[in-house]
Amino acid sequence: MAYGVQHVHLKTRDPKQTMQFYVDNFGATVKAEIPGRGFRLDLHGLQLNITTLIASQKHEQRYGIEHIAVDTDDYDGTLVRMRENGVKILEEMPPNNGRRVCFVEAPDGAQMELIERV
């Protein structure tokens, strides 16, 4: 199984203000505005997604660095291994842009997002 860091997701009450903070202070560039949600930034090669809480996601959401996302070329195999290891699956999302996505619980309540690489 191959993995890669896909993005870091920051959730905030004010996505525009948070986006501007990273642009003004850390030299991030805006890659896209996510209509009704927030922004996608390039922070020197690291993708930052900055949004408010997302109503369509039913798992517990937090403000701050909410999760780290990784993608995999073996989504099914990865989920099988995680379940065998006792990892708690918080939510499996409907496919988006042809990709399956789920959220899992990491130690101490942290979250990871697993994205199917297409």
SS (H, E, C) the chain: CCEEEEEEEEECCCHHHHHHHHHHHHCCEEEEEECCCEEEEEECCEEEEEECCCCCCCCCCCCEEEEEEEEECCHHHHHHHHHHCCCCEEEEEEEECCEEEEEEECHHHCEEEEEECC
pLDDT band at 109 (very low <50, low <70, confident <90, very high): confident
Asked if the model's pLDDT at residue 118 lies above 90, the reply is no
Asked if the model's pLDDT at residue 25 lies above 80, the reply is no
**For 49-64, what is the mean pLDDT?**
90
Domain boundaries, position 29: 3-116
Asked if the model's pLDDT at residue 62 lies above 90, the reply is no
pLDDT band at 58 (very low <50, low <70, confident <90, very high): very high
Asked if the model's pLDDT at residue 50 lies above 90, the reply is yes
Whole-angstrom CA distances from 76 to 33, 83, 111 are: 31, 11, 19
pLDDT band at 51 (very low <50, low <70, confident <90, very high): very high
CA distance 28 to 13: 20
pLDDT band at 107 (very low <50, low <70, confident <90, very high): low
CB 53 within 8 A of CB 61: yes
* CATH number for position 78: 3.10.180.10
**For 67-94, what is the mean pLDDT?**
91
Show the tokens assigned to 77: 């195999």
Q: How many domains does the chain have?
A: 1
How many Cβ atoms sit within 10 Å of the Cβ of residue 78?
A: 20
Q: What's the mean per-residue pLDDT of the chain?
A: 89
**For 22-39, what is the mean pLDDT?**
90
